[in-house]
Amino acid sequence: MEAQRNDIDSEILGGNVLEIVDFDPARDFSAFEREYCDRQQPLYVSCRIPSEQIGHIHLLEEQGFRFVEYQVRVYCALNKTWDVSGYGYSYLPVEGGADLEAVLEIASSIFEHGRFARDPFFLKWEGRNICGERYRRYVLKSFEAADESVWKLVNQATGEIVGFATDRITGPESALLLLAGIKQQYNGAGLGAINDYFHWNELKRKGVKWLYGHASGDNYPILNLNVRGMGFRFVQCFVILRKIYS
């Protein structure tokens, strides 16, 4: 069991944000907590527990941790190519400049599900959109990382960037889906699925055969799209708990 610092979240909040990984119920948690508090003086600490491990969840609750999110891990076999010839869009890697700024603007304004959008702790930061700042930083991270990519969905008629996606190549035949979205004004127009079609065609072209991803359990539109429309399957579900220290 280890308490790892999340650099991006820590920089945004101005205090150490930690994540407990490899939770071990046999270890003296009070002693472990004193150790990471003395060493890192955290502001916010979270832990993700498989939802079937109810006893582990209760142990954390007894230590003052509270539920903030239910999360689903999904996977899909990438065994088909989607026909996108009838759509008037192009799908290209983001190379920087104005295109990157356009994608960052989308990422910072569209996400409304998950703990960073709904946890009352983050909503108390008056004048700041913590969720938006966070996703902006994660897109920048993907742009700079050698094993990650940032893609743009472009309207061919107008040149407008209407959507984006990021991913990480995790092996010779697998990829992790990170962030994706479209501009708010196009919600309900089917662009979310089109964005996915283009994205997965590009990954298949790279030789990817397996896609993995995570979604918040309250993001019903995405869960329905992925499972009913795109052939994803559930792999595992998690409960995320957190504790505030300041």
pLDDT higher at 112 or 135: 135
108 DSSP assignment: T
pLDDT computed for residue 151 by the predictor: 97
Picking from 15, 24, 18, the residue whose alpha carbon sits closest to that of residue 3 is: 18
Provide the percentage of residues in the chain whose pLDDT is more than 90: 73
Residues 6 or more apart in contact with residue 36 via CB below 8 angstroms: 3, 18, 42, 45
Distance between CA atoms of 52 and 84, rounded to whole angstroms? 40
Is the CB of residue 76 less than 8 Å from the CB of residue 232?
Answer: yes
Two structure tokens written together for 70:
């239910």
Query: Angle between the 130-144 and 97-107 helix axes, to the nearest 10 degrees?
Result: 140
pLDDT computed for residue 57 by the predictor: 97
Radius of gyration (C-alpha) of the chain in whole angstroms: 19
Note the pTM of the prediction, 2 decimals: 0.89
Distance between CA atoms of 128 and 109, rounded to whole angstroms? 12
| Interval 30-59 mean pLDDT | 97
Query: Of 10-19, 59-68, 127-136, 137-146, where does mean pLDDT reach its minimum?
Result: 127-136
Kindly report the number of other CB atoms within 10 A of residue 90's CB atom.
Answer: 13
Give the side-chain half-sphere CA count within 13 A for 97.
Answer: 4
Is the CB of residue 150 less than 8 Å from the CB of residue 103?
Answer: yes
Distance between CA atoms of 246 and 236, rounded to whole angstroms? 32
pLDDT computed for residue 113 by the predictor: 77
Is the CB of residue 241 less than 8 Å from the CB of residue 203?
Answer: no
Is the CB of residue 178 less than 8 Å from the CB of residue 166?
Answer: yes
